[in-house]
Chains A and B, each alone.
Chain A
Amino acid sequence: ETGVTQSPTHLIKTRGQQVTLRCSSQSGHNTVSWYQQALGQGPQFIFQYYREEENGRGNFPPRFSGLQFPNYSSELNVNALELDDSALYLCASSFDRGQTYEQYFGPGTRLTVT
């Protein structure tokens, strides 16, 4: 069974640029959630995708957007990068939506905006 993988591991971007982060969900999982973890803080929910549709969103502006593909992998896109977007971005997949299903986290992508 392959776990959740994310790419790239690290990324450095300049303010104003755009970035795409990728996540491959665990085999058999149809739900992907994205979280932002600023340094020294707990992860914050960005949004969730269920069967290719956005299924809930946290308190993040529209320049944070996402996609989920038929194989349930997912992308997180951030436009017009700001310095405060520097963080660890975590992807988590689960077998289905609903709080009874455990979310399995990937290792994260460390984004630095300069």
Chain B
Amino acid sequence: GNSVTQMEGPVTLSEEAFLTINCTYTATGYPSLFWYVQYPGEGLQLLLKATKADDKGSNKGFEATYRKETTSFHLEKGSVQVSDSAVYFCALSLTQGGSEKLVFGKGTKLTVNP
């Protein structure tokens, strides 16, 4: 079946540290891949996406590269800020029978300390 596995948290970093959150997927077909962020008490916001192999998604200093050979889409940021504290979800999107749905990982909670 289709699934997403992401590294379990919580992750605690100091401001300006390097961030990596690992994400691997299993899918039939050719999914699009996404990272969503959820701030406390809010819904999900799209952080970045990649729609085909070797694409790099980037936004607000975050990056992730669609690696088909390793079925991975790891999230990275060179220097995190306190305001990056949130829960991060890796997701894939597949169109099946005309319906497009997102399949999410369990989420990784990031806390950045000043």
* A residues with CB within 8 A of B: 4, 31, 33, 35, 40-45, 48, 50, 55-58, 90, 92, 94, 97-108
For residue B106, which residue of chain A has the nearest CB? A42
Q: Report if A44-B106 is in contact (Cβ < 8 Å); known contacts: A56-B96, A99-B95, A106-B43.
A: no
B94 touches A99 (CB 8 A): yes
A-B CB contact pairs (8 Å), 8 listed: A42-B89, A45-B101, A50-B98, A50-B99, A56-B99, A56-B101, A90-B43, A103-B102
- Provide the bound-state CA to CA distance between A88 and B25, in Å: 24
- Is the CB of B100 closer than 8 A to any CB of chain A? yes
Q: Give the 8 A-B CB pairs with smallest separation, nearest first.
A: A56-B99, A42-B104, A99-B93, A105-B43, A105-B44, A45-B101, A107-B43, A99-B32
**Residues of chain B from 76 to 114 with CB closer than 8 A to chain A in the complex:** 89, 91, 93-107
The secondary structure that dominates the B interface is strand
Query: In the assembled complex, which residues on chain A have CB atoms less than 8 Å from the CB atom of B103?
Result: 45
The complex places the Cα of A98 from the Cα of B97 at a distance, in Å, of 10
Determine the chain A residues whose CB is within 8 A of the CB of B94 once the complex forms: 99
* CA A16 to CA B49, docked complex, whole Å: 40
Residues of B within 8 A of A35 (CB): 102
- Which residues from B are CB-within-8-Å of A90? 43-44
Q: Out of A4, A41, A45, A97, which one reaches B102, CB within 8 Å?
A: A45
* Residue of A with least CB distance to B41: A107
A55 touches B32 (CB 8 A): no
Interface centre among B36, B96, B97, B100 (most CB of A within 10 A): B100
